[in-house]
Amino acid sequence: MAERKKICVFCSSNDALDQTHRAAARLLGRLIGEAGFDLIWGGCDIASMGDVARGVQEARGQAIGVITQHFIDRGLAFRAADELILAPDLHERKKLMQQRADGFIILPGGFGTLDELFHVFTEQIIRMKAGKSTQPIVILNWASFFDGLGSFFEHLYREKVADESYRSLYYLADSPDSAVGYLRQSL
């Protein structure tokens, strides 16, 4: 049997996140599992991080967390994870998550989530320029959360500081169904 593809999800660890975004994270997790994918994520049991992992497990997918000792010491580890991989720091955590992933979904989140998005986006640009295969990135624009980011990307293209070819590296999805559907087609 072929190994299941792994989807890395970057999302919020802020409990103040609106419940509609948290519900979308849980639904996304279920859809990831139902599509036959496993989850790679930050390994925490807080806000949408815990929600997406629960959703994946409800659909019999594997939840594989990559976490630092700092989060474990704060009691934030998702104890029901199928696997927890300890990373020495946040930089290495992103690197380990990316190495294990076949594709990415970015959920509504703050600066940490944006850092993760731009890290993987830049890595895909480098791969594309080197003629290597790239990993699909889906930005889940649930409830128009990332409208401003999409507009900013358009500004970068208009100002010619970003190459138009970069558009092929990401997909702005408006629903969890659309996000998972795109990855099913891409992978």
**What structural domains and CATH numbers belong to the chain?**
6-186 (3.40.50.450)
Q: Return the beta strands (E) in the chain as ranges.
A: 6-10, 38-41, 63-68, 83-87, 103-106, 137-140, 170-173
Whether pTM > 0.85 for this model: the answer is yes
Q: From first to last of its 187 residues, what are the pLDDT tens digits of the chain?
A: 678 999 999 999 998 889 999 999 999 999 999 999 999 999 999 999 999 999 999 999 999 999 999 999 999 999 999 999 999 999 999 999 999 999 999 999 999 999 999 999 999 999 999 999 999 999 999 999 999 999 999 999 999 999 999 999 999 999 999 999 999 999 9
Written as six digits, the tokens of 5 are 């593809």
Identify which of 107, 22, 30 has the alpha carbon closest to the alpha carbon of residue 61.
30
